[in-house]
Amino acid sequence: MASVTLNGISKCFGRVEALKALDLEIRDGEFMALLGPSGCGKTTTLNTIAGIETPTTGTVMIGDRDVTKVPAMRRDIAMVFQSYALYPHMTVAKNLAFALEVRRMSSPAIAAKVEQAAGMLDLGPYLDRYPRQLSGGQRQRVALGRALVRDPSVFLLDEPLSNLDAVLRVQTRAELVRLFQRLATTAVYVTHDQAEAMTMADRIAVFENGRLLQVGAPLDIYRNPVNRFVAGFVGSPPMTFVDTEVTGTGLKFGAAEIAASLPMRAGSKVTLGIRPEDVVPAADGLPAVAEVVEHLGGLQILYLDVGGVPIAMQADADHIFRRGERLTVRIAPDRFYLFDPESGQTLA
């Protein structure tokens, strides 16, 4: 086990600055998710830790060892790729054993490692099969097994679930959480799926455009986003944003006003952020119309028109809403998120 420390990392590909002044510490035994949209620099960060990419500036430490110039194979890390990268002409057993054979480990020791990994990942019945004879989920487990047998001090995983169908993805997500809880090994997990990051990680690092915006525990990121981008990226359905103006007694909200005591001057422009679960039915609330209703079984998502302002609302299934239904809603004032409309930064 080991921590990973990135200090002042930047990475340029020609004129593209893929990473900008990145400082990030991944603690010993921690499961860290790197989260952000396509092209934000997640994979470049992972590859920099792996030694597949050399940073333009900055240092990479694994534990207390500076590995910035150490080649990938001598970093004591194991990588699991989205594509699985299995050897197609080798059986599962051979795929698992291969890296250990290259290291000239003894046959009995290899057999013990393969058996242990196969046991942990439920691969026992498939050891004699070839990758083409496996389902996507089974292939993914073999890819993990190949990393596991090497006992790395750090696991690096690049979107390992993205080739699985929705049901298998959720199932495998929970299996991975259990596995890594048991292993207690440092893991860095790249994903663009906020639900994966929220459900799997001890902490999440959110990236945008080559920059690290925020690092924190999932609920901390969810409840205390540093800016509008993070607030909108984490949570499903996403936070609704409304451009509004501060009044003496609250905030303008379409044709109406919502009462709140705010520290800003009357007349200031702010962006109000509202999470769907913070919109609640209330007899004395604002009139709204449910324009779209999504029934998800135990809960419902309503896309409301509140006096000309479109906002999403999450409701339980006690009362089944219909499209076009009128209701009155309240937005819990202690749950307001306020952002600077220019910079997008969270306002205190």
Least distance between ligand ATP and beta carbon 21 (Å): 15
Query: Would you say 142 and 117 are in contact if contact means Cβ atoms under 8 Å apart?
Result: no
Residue 39 contacts ligand ATP per CB under 6 A? yes
Least distance between ligand ATP and beta carbon 10 (Å): 12
| Residue choice 8, 13, 87, 255 for contact with ligand ATP (CB under 6 A) | 13
Give me the torsion for CA of 114, 119, 123, 128, rounded to 10°.
50
> Which region, judged by CB under 6 A, interacts with ligand ATP, from 13-21, 114-122, 222-230, 240-248?
13-21
Beta carbon nearer to ligand ATP, 81 or 130: 81
Q: Distance (Å, rounded) from C-alpha 19 to C-alpha 200? A: 24
The dihedrals phi and psi of 250, each to the nearest 5 degrees, come to 170, -135
Least distance between ligand ATP and beta carbon 36 (Å): 6
Give me the torsion for CA of 3, 160, 219, 183, rounded to 10°.
-50
Instruction: Tell me the three state secondary structure of residue 157.
Output: strand
Q: Does residue 131 have a cis bond before it (omega within 30 degrees)?
A: no
Of 187-216, binders to ligand ATP (CB under 6 A) are: 192
Beta carbon nearer to ligand ATP, 39 or 344: 39
Q: How many distinct helices (H) and strands (E) make up the chain? A: 8, 19
Mask for 100-139, x = binds ligand ATP (CB under 6 A): ----------------------------------------
Q: Distance (Å, rounded) from C-alpha 301 to C-alpha 314? A: 5
Residue 75 contacts ligand ATP per CB under 6 A? no
Beta carbon nearer to ligand ATP, 14 or 108: 14
Query: Would you say 266 and 248 are in contact if contact means Cβ atoms under 8 Å apart?
Result: yes
Beta carbon nearer to ligand ATP, 117 or 197: 197
Least distance between ligand ATP and beta carbon 95 (Å): 25
Residue 87 contacts ligand ATP per CB under 6 A? no
Residue 36 contacts ligand ATP per CB under 6 A? yes
Beta carbon nearer to ligand ATP, 13 or 87: 13
The footprint of ligand ATP on this chain (CB under 6 A) covers a number of residues equal to: 12
Q: Distance (Å, rounded) from C-alpha 141 to C-alpha 114? A: 13
Of 42-61, binders to ligand ATP (CB under 6 A) are: 42-44
Q: Distance (Å, rounded) from C-alpha 345 to C-alpha 348? A: 9
Residue whose tokens read 């005591």: 261
Distance from the Cα of residue 83 to its chain's centroid: 19
Query: For binding to ligand ATP (CB under 6 A), which residues are involved?
Result: 13, 16, 18, 36, 38-44, 192
